[in-house]
Amino acid sequence: MIVLKLGGSVITHKDRAETLDGESLEQAADSIAQTLGNEKDALKGGLVLVHGGGSFGHHNASKHGVSTTAGTNDAGAVLEIHGAMKTLNQFVLTRLLERGVQAVPVHPFSTACRDGDGALELPTSQVESMLAEGFVPVLHGDVIAQTGRGATVVSGDELVVELAQALEADRIGLCSTVPGVLDEEDAVIDRISNYEAVESVLGASETTDVTGGMAGKVNGLLELEVAASIFGLDGLASFLEGKNPGTTIE
């Protein structure tokens, strides 16, 4: 079973509000559809997709002052952020369906929540049922209800870590705008097995942007029992075929 995240910055133009990067999304959808068509063995355990918010989620969340820790009790604000993410999700689903991928939506707001300490609760029986029936569930960064804070943001990266653990994923991939985690000379770091080794490049782990920064991604992935890969769009097909492009975190 593979959990694959398509970065929000990959599939949207992050500097313009609610603007799809159609070309990149189609390249990603092509890679996924081709692998599902040609390499059935590589994906026989199923594929779960997660996409980030990019200029759909971040723009609307920041407009309402909502983050992973700052919430809102205004249903109108919730619907605006959630609605923007559903619009982006629909773009992703459509591109996949057009290519014969049996993609179906799983909206985190409808199923997940956080307790007062921020711990994420994400039911996954529905995702397992979808996988067993041959569907490709597509989740996304979203708002979710949090005890004491109304609704806060859940990032795609957080969902990837949670899904990988709950579903005991065999492989985890993060498709990013960069070809991997880069060192001081912008060369791809081949392998990361502890955070201290990359702290000088990525910065202290406590200061990470939990909804998108590379430090947050690396920290989250280091917690997992299986290896994860961070790679660019050009590495996606290779990852889906079973190779390890970009940076391997283990």
Question: Which residues are annotated as part of the binding site for ATP?
Answer: 5-9, 54, 213, 217
Phi, psi (deg, nearest 5) at residue 83: -65, -40
Q: Which is nearer to its own copies, 103 or 230 (CB)?
A: 103
Query: Which residues contribute to the annotated binding site for substrate?
Result: 53, 58, 156
Q: To the nearest whole angstrom, how small is the minimum distance from the Cβ of residue 109 to its own copies?
A: 7
Please name the amino acid found at residue 140: H
Pairing between strand 120-121 and 113-114?
antiparallel
Instruction: Evaluate whether 198 touches 182 at the Cβ level (below 8 Å).
Output: no
Ranges of beta strands (E only) in 7-140 are 47-51, 103-105, 113-114, 120-121, 136-140
Q: Are strands 150-154 and 142-146 parallel, antiparallel or unpaired?
A: antiparallel
Query: Residues forming the annotated binding site?
Result: 5-9, 53-54, 58, 156, 213, 217
Q: How far is the CB of 141 from its own copies (least distance, A)?
A: 14
Distance in Å, CB of 107 to its own copies, minimum: 5
CA distance to 53, 99, 239, 242, per residue, from 12 (Å): 8, 20, 21, 26
Q: Using CB under 8 A as the criterion, which residues of the chain lie in contact with its own copies when the complex forms?
A: 73-76, 78-79, 82, 93, 97, 101-114, 121, 123, 125-126, 128-130, 132-136, 144-151
Closest to its own copies by CB, 123 vs 242, is 123
If the CB atoms of residues 74 and 170 are measured against its own copies, the closer one turns out to be 74
Closest approach, Cβ 77 to its own copies, in A, equals 10
